[in-house]
Amino acid sequence: MKLVIIDDDFQFATAMKNDLLIHFCKYDEDVEIDIIDDNYFNLINANQYLFYFIDIDLNNINGYDLANRIKQNQKNCYIIFVSSHNDLIHDSYNLRAYYFIRKTSYKKDLNIFYSIVDQEFQNNDTFIDLNYKMSRTQISLNQIIYLESQDHKIKIVTVNGMHFDNRTLKAWAQLLPDDKFIQIHRSFIINIDHLTSYRKGHLIMVNNEDLVIGRVYKNKFDQFYQEYLLK
């Protein structure tokens, strides 16, 4: 799991990073949190973070504008605005922010945020144990970008990196929720939530990988994709 704090107050951002690490480690012991205090536009097409903590009063750019541009490229991320200006909280609701943390009530708001995100993870996410070469690890199904069958193993590409599992692709197809995951090739299953574009049989995923739909899977995928867009 990857988070980013976008704030030109480096001292505050560092303190926030330490607080977030303590909480999010219970979901992913390898959680990574970056601090960005410049070159904000590089984040727009990054497609690598699940949570964005954005200070509204950034140098040279409005935090609302930055959030809008990030959301256009990454629909499934969580935007949390951070500001010392309490009167801006109502504007953040108009932008459908996940939460608003006031620097003047930092600890109180952060604890409320923890309660909300804990409930979100418990209700909407499923974690699964992987077993490969006597090694066991746990991943979130929501963070899977795609699965690929390779010889006698499955490669699982997630927003945080790569994993392997001993099960077959057929076994995974039966395990995964069919409202998000669909097979596009005899060797590939994708998570539609991490698809950024689809054109002429090519699927561009959030990690910029280009996957090609197998001919026998195309009609079923087209129907699945249209239904997904209507949700």
Task: Scan for tokens 């994993």, then name that residue.
Answer: 163
State how far the alpha carbon of 97 is from the alpha carbons of 20, 151, 163, 164, 184, in Å: 18, 43, 31, 34, 33
Contact 191, 144 (CB under 8 A): yes
* DSSP β-bridge partners for residue 67: none
10-14, 116-120, 206-210: which has the minimum mean pLDDT? 116-120
Q: According to the per-residue pLDDT averaged within each range, which of 27-41, 43-57, 210-224 is highest?
A: 210-224
- Residue pLDDT, tens place only, 60-113: 788 888 888 887 777 667 889 998 876 666 565 556 678 889 999 999 999 999
And the tokens for 11? 């001292």
Domain boundaries of the chain, sorted by first residue:
2-124, 127-229
The torsion region of residue 5 among left (phi > 0), alpha (psi -120 to 50) and beta comes to: beta
The class of domain 127-229 in CATH terms is mainly beta
CATH topology of domain 2-124: Rossmann fold (3.40.50)
Largest CA distance in the chain: 57
Contact 74, 27 (CB under 8 A): no
**Cα–Cα distance measured from residue 204 to residue 210, given in angstroms and rounded to the nearest whole number:** 5
**Cα–Cα distance measured from residue 11 to residue 67, given in angstroms and rounded to the nearest whole number:** 22
Asked, colleague to colleague, whether 2-124 and 127-229 share their fold, the answer is: no
- Residue pLDDT, tens place only, 107-119: 999 999 999 888 7
**Cα–Cα distance measured from residue 11 to residue 106, given in angstroms and rounded to the nearest whole number:** 14
